[in-house]
C-alpha cells in the first residue's frame, strides 16, 4: 500500500494563559505530478491523511497538559515556489481544496487553514473562491517573491542544503541533462533555483509573521532551534521530507517512508486492489471494509484464520460495513472459527451495556517457582471479539486501546523495560463492579501511576468510535483497553466473546 505525502513546513504554538495555542503551518503546497518515482499524482491521499492525523494528535497531546488546547493553522506555500518547479496555479489550488475536504471528512478538530486574503491583507477576497479567482489573487505574491530577507546564518545554510538535495532530483526530469546541458551547468542551475527559493521562503515567512502573528515557527528542515523548532511530521523513526515520499504500512502496523521507486522494488509491498479495503488506522490497528460498499459482504465472508494471523501483528483489527454482524448465532460461529472461545459463568457471550470491565484480570492459576514455592499468575484469554449492536454517539463513549509496542517506545527514562520485566504484581479480587487495585509486590507502587499517563498518550492510545455493526478483534494481553465516559441514558450495547 503506497501513499505519497506533500511538502510540510510548519509554524506552531503560541502559549497564553487564557486562550488556545495557535499553530501556523507553512506547508502542504503542491504535488509534482511529473515525479512518478516519488509520488502517485498531484492530489492528496493517504500520506497527507497520516501527516494530518499525526499533527492533529500532537495538538491533542498538548491539550492533555495545557487545558486551553492548541490549534494548527496550515498556511500553504505552494504559490511561493510552484513556478520554479513547473507546477501551474490551478494544480496548487486543487491540491489545497482537496486537503481542506480531507481535513473536514476526518474531523481533525485541531487543524485549521489560513486564507489567502489573510496573508496578502486583501479585504475584497471572499472566503470561498474558484481556481480562476485564486490564480488572479496569486499575483499578489509577486511582490513578496521579489523581496529578500536572507541573512547569512546557520539556519539558512541548513535549509539551503536541504533545497539542493531535493531539487537535484525534482528538476532532473524538467531540465534533463543532454548535449545542450552538461552536469555542471545543471548543478549551477539548481544552485540558483535553491538560492531563489531561500529568498522567497524568507520573504514568505516574514509575510506570515506580519499577517498571522503570535505563532511559534516549526519546520521540517534541520535548524539550530533559535527561531524555529524542527519536528518530524510523520510517525516514523527516520527524518524524511514528506512531500518527496510515499508511506507504506507493514503487517504489524509499522509505518515506513521513502520514494515510490523504493516501494516498487520491495517484493513484500503492494497496492491493495481486492474485494476488501485495508485502511491503516492512526496510531495503530487496521480497518477492513468491503470494497463494493457497506453490506456488500457478510460476516461469513470474513476469513477468520487470516484475521487471527493479522491480529497477532497489528491491533486492533476493525471490520466495518459487513452485514449479519448482529446475528447472535453468526457471531458465535465466527468466534469458534477464530479460536477456542472462553466460557464464563454468565455464558459465552457477554452482552454488555458498557459497565466498567476487566477482561480476565481475576482469571489466575498457581504455578511453582524454581525454589518449590507457589505463585499466582494471570491466565487471561488471549483475544477479544466485539460487535456493536447499537449505534454510538460520535463524541462520547470511546473505547481506548493502548499499544504495548508503542508504549515501550515512549517509556520515561527512569522506568526502562528491563525494570518493568522484573516487577511482579497482585490484583485485588472482588465479586462486584468497582475500582480495581493492582499492587506491586517487589517494587515501588509509583510505577503504576507513572505508566498511567503514557498509556493515555495520543502517541500510544487508539480511540475507537463505534459504528453499528462494527466487528473488532483485539489481543487482550498486548493491547490494554478501557473506555472513556459517556452520557447517561445513551443506548449502547456491545457483544463480546473471548477466545484463545
Q: How many residues does the chain have?
A: 500
Contact 364, 377 (CB under 8 A): yes
Which band of pLDDT confidence, cut at 50, 70 and 90, is reported for residue 329? very high
Say if CB 95 and CB 6 are below 8 A apart.
Answer: yes
Indicate the average pLDDT of the chain: 76
- Domain interval for residue 420: 276-499
The pLDDT value given to residue 104: 93
User: Which ranges constitute the DSSP H helices of 252-320?
Assistant: 260-264, 304-311
Taking residues 372-379, report their average pLDDT.
77
What is the structure's pLDDT at 499?
92
Of the three residues 213, 239, 265, the one that is the final residue of a domain is: 239
The answer to whether residues 229 and 315 belong to one domain is no
Tally of structural domains, the chain: 2
DSSP string of 225-248, one letter each residue: SSS-EE---SSSSS---GGGEEEE
In angstroms, rounded to a whole number, what is the distance separating the alpha carbons of residues 210 and 86?
Answer: 28
Reported as a single tens digit per residue, the pLDDT across 422-453 is: 887 765 555 454 555 667 777 778 888 788 88
What is residue 454's predicted lDDT score, i.e. its pLDDT? 83
DSSP 299: G
Question: 223-232: per-residue pLDDT in tens?
Answer: 777 777 788 8
Of the three residues 239, 265, 293, the one that is the final residue of a domain is 239
Looking at residue 381, which CATH number applies to its domain?
Answer: 3.60.130.10
Residues 348 and 341 sit within 8 Å (Cβ to Cβ)? yes
Co-location of 347 and 226 in the same domain: no
- Cβ contact 297:322 at 8 Å: yes
* DSSP H or E segment with residue 419: helix 417-422
Contact between 315 and 284 under an 8 Å Cβ cutoff? The reply is yes
- Asked whether residue 371 is assigned to any structural domain, the reply reads yes
Same domain, 100 and 218: yes
Tell whether 184 and 54 lie within a shared domain: yes
Crossing angle, helix 183-211 and helix 154-170, to 10 degrees?
130
For 3-62, the pLDDT digits (tens) are 333 333 333 333 333 455 555 556 666 666 555 556 656 777 778 888 899 989 888 888
Residues 260-278 have pLDDT tens digits of: 888 888 888 776 556 788 8
Mean pLDDT of 467-472: 93
Q: What is the pLDDT of residues 153-210, one digit of tens each?
A: 566 666 666 666 667 777 777 788 888 888 888 888 888 888 887 777 777 777 777 7
Torsion sign over Cα 199, 201, 206, 210: positive
30, 78 Cβ separation under 8 angstroms = yes
Q: Do residues 145 and 200 lie in contact, with contact meaning Cβ atoms separated by under 8 Å? A: yes
For residue 137, is pLDDT > 70? no
Q: For 410, phi and psi rounded to 5 degrees? A: -125, 25
pLDDT at 9: 35
* pLDDT tens digits, one per residue of 306-326: 999 988 888 899 999 999 999
Residues 22 and 161 in one domain: yes
Report if residue 259 sits inside a domain. Answer: no
Q: CB under 8 Å to 324, separation ≥6 — which residues?
A: 298, 299, 300, 330
Predicted confidence at residue 1, as pLDDT, reads 30
Please state the three-class secondary structure of 154-184 as a single string: HHHHHHHHHHHHHHHHHCCCCCCCECCECHH
pLDDT in tens, 60-88: 888 888 888 888 888 777 777 777 777 78
Q: Please compute the mean of the pLDDT values over residues 407-425 and round it to a whole number.
A: 86
Last residue of a domain, one of 239, 264, 295: 239
Q: What is the mean pLDDT of residues 131-135?
A: 59
Amino acid at each position: 500500500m503506497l501513499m505519497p505525502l506533500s511538502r510540510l513546513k510548519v509554524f506552531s504554538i503560541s502559549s497564553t494563559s487564557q486562550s488556545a495555542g495557535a499553530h501556523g503551518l507553512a506547508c502542504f503546497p503542491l504535488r509534482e505530478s511529473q515525479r512518478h518515482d516519488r509520488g502517485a499524482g498531484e492530489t492528496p491521499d493517504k500520506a497527507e491523511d497520516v501527516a494530518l492525523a499525526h499533527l492533529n494528535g500532537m495538538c491533542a497531546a498538548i491539550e492533555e497538559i495545557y487545558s486551553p488546547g492548541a490549534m494548527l493553522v496550515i498556511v500553504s506555500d505552494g504559490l511561493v515556489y510552484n513556478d520554479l518547479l513547473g507546477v501551474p496555479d490551478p494544480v496548487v489550488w486543487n491540491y489545497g481544496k482537496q486537503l481542506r475536504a480531507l481535513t473536514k471528512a476526518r474531523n481533525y478538530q485541531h487543524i485549521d487553514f489560513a486564507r489567502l486574503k489573510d496573508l496578502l491583507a486583501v479585504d475584497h477576497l471572499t472566503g470561498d473562491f474558484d481556481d480562476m479567482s485564486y490564480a488572479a489573487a496569486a499575483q499578489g505574491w509577486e511582490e513578496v517573491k521579489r523581496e529578500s530577507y536572507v541573512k547569512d546564518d546557520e539556519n539558512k545554510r541548513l535549509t539551503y542544503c536541504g533545497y539542493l538535495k531535493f531539487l537535484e532530483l525534482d528538476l532532473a526530469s524538467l531540465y534533463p541533462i543532454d548535449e545542450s546541458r552538461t552536469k555542471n551547468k545543471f548543478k549551477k542551475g539548481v544552485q540558483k533555483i535553491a538560492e531563489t527559493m531561500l529568498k522567497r521562503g524568507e520573504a514568505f515567512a516574514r509575510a506570515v509573521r506580519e499577517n498571522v502573528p503570535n505563532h511559534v515557527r516549526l519546520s521540517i528542515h534541520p535548524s539550530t532551534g533559535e527561531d524555529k523548532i524542527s519536528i518530524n511530521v510523520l510517525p516514523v523513526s527516520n527524518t524524511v521530507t514528506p512531500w518527496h515520499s510515499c508511506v507504506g504500512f507493514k503487517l504489524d502496523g509499522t509505518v515506513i517512508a521513502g520514494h515510490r521507486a523504493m516501494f516498487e522494488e520491495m517484493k513484500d509491498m503492494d497496492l491493495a486492489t481486492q474485494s476488501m479495503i485495508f485502511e491503516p488506522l492512526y496510531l495503530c490497528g487496521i480497518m477492513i471494509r468491503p470494497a463494493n460498499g457497506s453490506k456488500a459482504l457478510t460476516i461469513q465472508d470474513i476469513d477468520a484464520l487470516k484475521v487471527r494471523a493479522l491480529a497477532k501483528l497489528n491491533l486492533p483489527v476493525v471490520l466495518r460495513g459487513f452485514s449479519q454482524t448482529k446475528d447472535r448465532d453468526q457471531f458465535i460461529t465466527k468466534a469458534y472459527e477464530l479460536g477456542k472461545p472462553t466460557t464464563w459463568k454468565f455464558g459465552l457471550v457477554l452482552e454488555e451495556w458498557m459497565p466498567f470491565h476487566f477482561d480476565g484480570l481475576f482469571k489466575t492459576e498457581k504455578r511453582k517457582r524454581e525454589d518449590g514455592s507457589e505463585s499466582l499468575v494471570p491466565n487471561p484469554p488471549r483475544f477479544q471479539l466485539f460487535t456493536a449492536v447499537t449505534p454510538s454517539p460520535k463524541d462520547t463513549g470511546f473505547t481506548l486501546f493502548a499499544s504495548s509496542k508503542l508504549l515501550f517506545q515512549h517509556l520515561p527514562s527512569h522506568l526502562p523495560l528491563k525494570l518493568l520485566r522484573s516487577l511482579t504484581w497482585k490484583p485485588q479480587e472482588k465479586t462486584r463492579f468497582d475500582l480495581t487495585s493492582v499492587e506491586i509486590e517487589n517494587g515501588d507502587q509509583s510505577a503504576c501511576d507513572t505508566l498511567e499517563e503514557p498509556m493515555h498518550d495520543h502517541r500510544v492510545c487508539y480511540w475507537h468510535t463505534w459504528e453499528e455493526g462494527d466487528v473488532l478483534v483485539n489481543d487482550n494481553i498486548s493491547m490494554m483497553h478501557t473506555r472513556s465516559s459517556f452520557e447517561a441514558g445513551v443506548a449502547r450495547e456491545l457483544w463480546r466473546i473471548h477466545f484463545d
